[in-house]
Structure 1
Amino acid sequence: MTDTGTAVALTPAAQDRALPQAPLSGMAALSRFGIPLGLAGLGGGWSAARSSLGSPVWPEEILYGAASSLWLILTAVYVFRGLRRKGAFRADLRHEVAGPFASFIPLVGILLSSHYSQYLPPWGAWLCMGFIAALASVAAQLLAHWVTGGVSMQSIHPGYLLPVVPGFFVASIGFSSIHARDAAMASFGIGAFFWLVVGTVVTVRVMTGGELTAAAKTGLSAYLAAPATANIAWMLSHPGPVGAVQLGLTGVLVIMALTQVMLLPEYRKLPFTQMFWVFTFPVGATANYSIRWLATTDLPGREIYAFTILGLATAFTLVIAARSVLTAIAPKSARLATPQSTEVR
């Protein structure tokens, strides 16, 4: 994703004083991890369809394979560049804008190792626990920086939810995938706690701190990512009939999904950038849970509804991917189309 895509929500008056002076070189590199995150999220939706609807296995394997390849490449590039700049990761982690995106690296690792643990026991389980530990380390460093005055209120944006809310709900999903139910519940508790605490701070900033910048508005999709991952985490750790907690979480997901629908006119005004990949993970996670929830009901035609939701989520991700490719090649095409000098030398 681009540096522009990670712009913070600032009021015009406060923009100059709120922007930090820290190096910005890692911002684009960290935010690009949203691409494999979105692909893995959609892969989870197809995994749910395979287990609940008997869909073929190849779509999820293609998605997880693509996410794995991109994640490995992006991680190698980021680490290689970081080795040439002492304290690079620490500087990126402490950056007011880019800091929360550091959680994308272990977050994608959890999703991938959770999936492949079924093929690589016990190595997959150990990898999953290692990535969860890495996420916890990143989240703890971010929290320590935040609570010691490391950020200003104007610099806070919805992306601050990702490391400590959807992040720990995904960790709970990872623990459930390796049959560590007690650890899954502990992770769920962490995510629920910070959903209340950090979610309140972010919402106060969004509601009272002035209008979000165009690029920062894409981060509002984090409000959908939180209940989507919470629902999946609770369902996996509590198999069986749907209980009161699951129904309550489902209600939150429904109202957050409706809110995203109401925000569509705002999203349509935004110029397309690679930051639009931030929408794909919440959409994939919502499709994932919707398929799992429909499988627990006796709703007539539930298979049709489930495949329709999954099809829409897949089409949405493919459109984002196609637009990203076109956006990437457009500048090259423009340069090639620029008339060259005909002067004879």
Structure 2
Amino acid sequence: MPNSVSEFIDRLAGVPVAFFGMAVGVLALSQAWLVAGRLWPGMAHPSHWLGAVGLLIWAVLLLAYLCKWCVRRAAAWSELYDPLTSSLATLGPISTMLASVTLLAWSRPAGLALWIAALAWQMVLGLWIYGRFWKGGNAPANVTAAVYLPAVGQNLVAGMSSAAFGWTELGVLFFGAGMFSWLALESMILGRAATHTPLPEAQRPLLGIQLAPAVVAGVCYTSLRPESADFFVQMLLGYGLYQAALALRLLPWILQQRFAPSYWSFSFGVAALANLTLRLHERSPGTLTAVLAPLTLAGASLVVGGLLLGTVRLAWQGRLLSAAVV
């Protein structure tokens, strides 16, 4: 029995930190369905179920990450120093902030305690990783859409979650940090894509992250301004829809890489796109949003559902960890 327990812990410790993206996608989709429940009474149940599933996935992944720091500390440090996986490591605090917001439905004190811990985690990790980025020496091959996560993803989710807990003024500061970091990084990522060698097949699914900044910024903005459906947030939705169309255009090229956990990179963006569209329709109903709201929600649900099924299939085949290399 002791050997079995130690073997289980060792296997658990082998889970890549990037797997936190699974929790991010499911929890973000639960938030989109929560808005749908306000728009269409009787449709709140999917949000509760998705929230519970997302919290379960997040808790297992957090346990795995803690085990990694206990029994595979060298591997944990290696992830944080690797130019690619260090950015993906910020999915840990991002998922934890989303988990804290989801916990509000059951316990505000528990959610608040988790949010404070996640906020400290994201600030320390984000500044450490992004500060290293500013020192230079980054090879073009290492500049992927994942570089959005430390400065853009973390700050925008921090802003959104701050609003959920009533800290609106703090949320505005995080929104500014994330928004302007996005604008600074966008041209660099596009420049690498346009002028250097194409992304290797294994890294192409990371382009799914490209969809997220505009729509996550929109969700953050509408969280901080609960009644707003103004020109600015509509612009953010427009850019998000353009990025979604671009992702569809590139999909045949991306799909040359067989299914792998890295495809979860699409989940946050598609869920946030649905969330933002639903929020705008809730606040300023119109013909366009009346069409886009159910369409984007159905699309996000299909994407996340397909990712869950594909991940379960890999796990059933015993290939989940071996397929996780990017």
Q: TM-score range by the shorter chain?
A: 0.7 to 0.9
2:207, 2:265 within 8 Å by CA — same for their partners in 1? no
The alignment status of 1:213 with 2:214, answered yes or no, reads no
Letter of the aligned partner of 1:188 in structure 2? Answer: F
When residues 91 and 258 of structure 1 are mapped into structure 2, their CA distance, relative to the original with a 3 A threshold, is: same
Q: Which residue does 2:191 correspond to in 1? A: 204
**1:218 to 1:59, Cα distance in 2 relative to 1, 3 A:** same
Aligned counterpart, 1:166: 153
The structure carrying a bigger helix percent of its residues is 2
Q: Distance in 2 between matches of 1:300 and 1:250?
A: 15
Instruction: Find the structure with the greater CA-based Rg.
Output: 1
Q: What is the identity percentage for the equivalent residue pairs of Structure 1 and Structure 2? A: 21
Is 1:71 the counterpart of 2:71? The answer is no
2:254 corresponds to which residue? 267
Separation (CA, whole Å) in 2 of partners of 1:228 and 1:301? 17
Alpha carbons 1:40, 1:63 under 8 Å: kept: yes
1:84 and 2:78 equivalent?
no
- Residues 11-36 of structure 1 show CA distances to partners (whole Å, capped at 9, x for unaligned) of xxxxxxxxxxxxxx989511111111
Match of 1:194 in 2: 181
Maintained 8 Å contact 1:27/1:92: no
- Is residue 58 from structure 1 mapped to residue 68 from structure 2 by the alignment? no
Paired position in structure 1 for 2:142:
155
Selected match of 1:243 from 223, 230, 234: 230
Deviates more, 1:181-190 or 1:124-133: 124-133
User: 2:228 touches 2:283 (CA, 8 Å); kept in 1?
Assistant: yes
Task: Provide the residue aligned with 2:34 in structure 1.
Answer: 47
Instruction: Judge which range, 96-105 or 192-201, deviates more.
Output: 192-201
Alignment partner, residue 298 of structure 1:
285
Tell me: CA distance 1:88–1:235, structure 2 relative to 1, closer, same or farther (3 Å). Answer: same
Q: Secondary structure of 1:140's match?
A: helix
- Residue in 1 that maps onto 2:91: 104
CA distance in 1, matches of 2:280, 2:67: 43
Cα distance change of structure 1 residues 77 and 239 upon mapping to structure 2, 3 Å threshold: closer
**Contact 2:26–2:51 under 8 Å retained in 1:** yes
The aligned residue for residue 181 of structure 1 is 168
By relative contact order (CA 8 Å, sep 6+), the higher-ranking structure is 1
C-alpha change, 1:76 and 1:248, in structure 2 (3 Å) is same
| SS of alignment partner, residue 284 of structure 2 | coil
Q: Distance in 2 between matches of 1:129 and 1:331?
A: 36
After TM superposition, give the deviation of residue 86 of structure 1 in Å. 4.3
What is the SS of the residue equivalent to 2:107?
A: coil
- Name the amino acid aligned to 2:178: G
CA distance in structure 2 between the partners assigned to 1:202 and 1:301 by the alignment: 31
TM-score by length of 2: 0.87
Q: In 2 relative to 1, CA 88–212 (structure 1 residues): closer, same or farther, beyond 3 Å?
A: closer
Structure 1 stretches of 5 or more lacking a match?
Answer: 1-24, 333-345
Matched residue count:
308
Aligned to 1:226: 213
RMSD: 2.3
Q: Deviations over 1:160-200 (max 9, x none)?
A: 11221122111111011011111111000000121022223
Whether the aligned pair in 2 keeps the contact of 1:68 and 1:112 (CA below 8 Å) is yes
